[in-house]
Amino acid sequence: MVSMEMEYFDAEKIMNSGQVFRMYGNDDGSITVYSGDRRLRLVQKGKQVDFFCTEKEFEEYWKHYFDLDRDYAEMVRTVLGDEAGIGEAKKGDGFLKAACRYGSGIRLLNQDIWEMMISFIISQQKQIPSIRKCIEALSRRFGENKGDYYAFPSAEAIASAGPDGVKGLSLGYRERYIYETAVAYLERGLPDEEIRKMSFEDARKYFCSFCGIGEKVANCICLFGAGFIDAFPIDVHIKDILYREYAGGSIPEEKMRLCDYQLLIEENFGRFAGFKGLVQQWIFAYELVRK
DNA sequence: TACCAGGATGCTA
DNA sequence: TAGCATCATGGT
C-alpha cells in the first residue's frame, strides 16, 4: 500500500468528472479504478489517500495516471488568487471561481490512449451512465478475463471478431467506427509515449485520422489520455455554459457557430494558456452537479 | 410522445 | 468550405 497526504486531490470528484468511465464507488466507501488491464483500489479520508498497490506499480503507472507530478496548487491560485480573492479570473466571473472552488480536487488523468479512443468514440450522443454500460459490455465480451474483472479490450480482440463482432452492445451507429478504428489501430497505431512527445496539433491530427474521431473526441483523448492540458473539448454542456455565462445574449443561441464558441473560450480563458483544459474540466464538472 | 445525449460522417450547394 | 440530414439507442 502507498499512503500519501495530498492537497488538490478528490477521488470522488475525479470519478464523477466525466473524463473516466471505469471508476466506481464501493459500498465500504473505497473507490476502484480500472485502466487498460490494470485495477486499483483506493481509500480517501480528507487529505489522506491510501493506494492499494505495490510501491513499484504506483511509481511505474498510477502516479503518472493521477498526474501527481503536476503542481495543481499553482493553477488554482492563478484563477482564485490569494485569500484576498485577487486572481486572474475576470472581475465578476463568479461562475469560473465557483467552478474552480468546486473542482480544485480534480486531476487530469493520464489514461491509456487506446482506451480513450474507443471510450470517447462511444461517448458521442450518449449520456455518461449509458457510456459506462457500453464500455462494461465491450470489456466483458472482448477483454481479457483477469479472474474477478475484465481488462479493457485490445484492438486485436475487437478487429479479429469482424465487423459484426460488436453487435448487440447498444453501440448503434458507432459499431462501424469501433471496428474500423480497431483495424486501423493495428496497422498504424502509435505507442502512447510517442504520441505524448508530439505537438498538440500533430496529436489532434493523428487522432482525427481514425474513423469516428472528430475534433471534439480528439480533444478529449488529448486531454484525458495524452497529457495535452490545453485541449478544450467543446460539447453540448460546454456550449450551454459558454452561451449562458459569457455570450451576453449578443447572438440568438441557434445562430451560434463553433467559431463563436471558440472566440468566447479565447476571450474568457485564453489567459490560462498552459492549463486551459483543466479550466474546461472544472466548469464541465461543476455544470454536471448543478443540473 | 417528443426530445436529448461529453458528435461524426457524407452529401449538397 | 459551410450547412444540413442522417446515423442507433437508452433515458427522461
Output the tens digit of pLDDT for each of chain A's 291 residues: 999 999 999 999 999 999 999 999 999 999 999 999 999 999 999 999 999 999 999 999 999 999 999 999 999 999 998 544 566 666 668 999 999 999 999 999 999 999 999 999 999 999 999 999 999 999 999 999 999 999 999 999 999 999 999 999 999 999 999 999 999 999 999 999 999 999 999 999 999 999 999 999 999 999 999 999 999 999 999 999 999 999 998 889 999 999 999 999 999 999 999 999 999 999 999 999 988
The distance (Å) linking the CA of A238 with the C1' of B6 is: 9
Q: What separation in angstroms does the CA of A36 have from each of A19, A80, A222?
A: 15, 35, 17
> A57 and A64 in contact (C-beta within 8 Å)?
no
Which amino acid residue lies closest to nucleotide C7, measuring CA to C1'?
Answer: A173
Q: What separation in angstroms does the CA of A82 have from each of A10, A78, A89?
A: 21, 9, 12
Q: From the alpha carbon of A20, which nucleotide's C1' atom is closest?
A: B6
pLDDT value of position A90: 64
Within 8 A by CB and 6+ apart from A189, the residues are A114, A155
Nearest 5°: the CA angle A148, A123, A289 is 90
Backbone angles phi, psi at A163, to 5 degrees: -60, -25
Q: Which amino acid is at A124?
A: Q
Using CB atoms within 10 Å of the CB of residue A74, give its burial: 0 to 12 exposed, 13 to 18 middle, 19+ buried. Answer: exposed
Q: Which of A188, A187, A136, A143 is nearest to A161 (CA)?
A: A143
Residues 169-208 of A with CB under 7 A from strand C: 170-173
What is the rounded CA–CA span in Å between residue A105 and residue A103? 5
Of how many residues is chain A composed?
Answer: 291
The distance (Å) linking the CA of A42 with the C1' of B13 is: 56
The distance (Å) linking the CA of A101 with the C1' of B3 is: 33
Which amino acid residue lies closest to nucleotide C3, measuring CA to C1'?
Answer: A257
